[in-house]
Amino acid sequence: MGHREAEAYVRRLFACIDAQDWAGLSSLLDDGAVYERPGYEPFVGKLAIMQFYRQERIVASGEHLLEQVLSNGEQIACWGSFTGRDKDGHPLKARFADVYHLSAGRIGLRRTFFDSPAL
């Protein structure tokens, strides 16, 4: 995957998350995907990741703004910022960095890092 394709892939991922397009997000995940993020045990498998997004995530709405995407083919790194609101209506703001390892064009591993307490 070249740089343009990697950037488009990550932009699509965040567009799905921001729009709460869970079918679109699910299509980007390998069945055995693992998602690691601060404050949670790793989510193992597409079903566990989708349950997190549908039920456990504290974010009610928001937008990811990407600053940079780097890729060497099957590994992608990106960073940017997120602004939004939690389920109680409180504002959220954080800088983040993500790394991905793709498996057959789908996310096999995603690790998220925040500059503040977990969202």
Query: Which CATH number is 71's domain given?
Result: 3.10.450.50
- Of residues 47 and 118, the one with the higher pLDDT is 47
Token couple for 111: 């690790």
The parent domain of residue 26 ranges over: 3-114
Secondary structure of residue 10 in the 3-state scheme: helix
| Mean pLDDT to the nearest integer, 51-77 | 95
In three-state form (DSSP H/G/I as H, E/B as E, the rest C), the secondary structure along 15-73 is HHHHHCCHHHHHHCEEEEEEEECCCCCCEECHHHHHHHHHHHCCEEEEEEEEEEEEECC
Residue 119 maps to a domain: no
Share of the chain above pLDDT 90, in %: 85
The arithmetic mean of pLDDT across residues 83-93, rounded, is: 96
In a domain, 13, yes or no: yes
Please write the tens of the pLDDT for every residue from 11-52. 999 999 999 999 999 999 999 999 999 989 999 999 999 999
Asked if residue 28 belongs to a domain, the reply is: yes
Is pLDDT at 119 greater than 70 in this prediction?
Answer: no
Q: Quick one: pLDDT band at residue 117, thresholds 50, 70, 90?
A: low
Q: How many domains are there within the chain?
A: 1
Q: Say if 22 falls within a structural domain.
A: yes
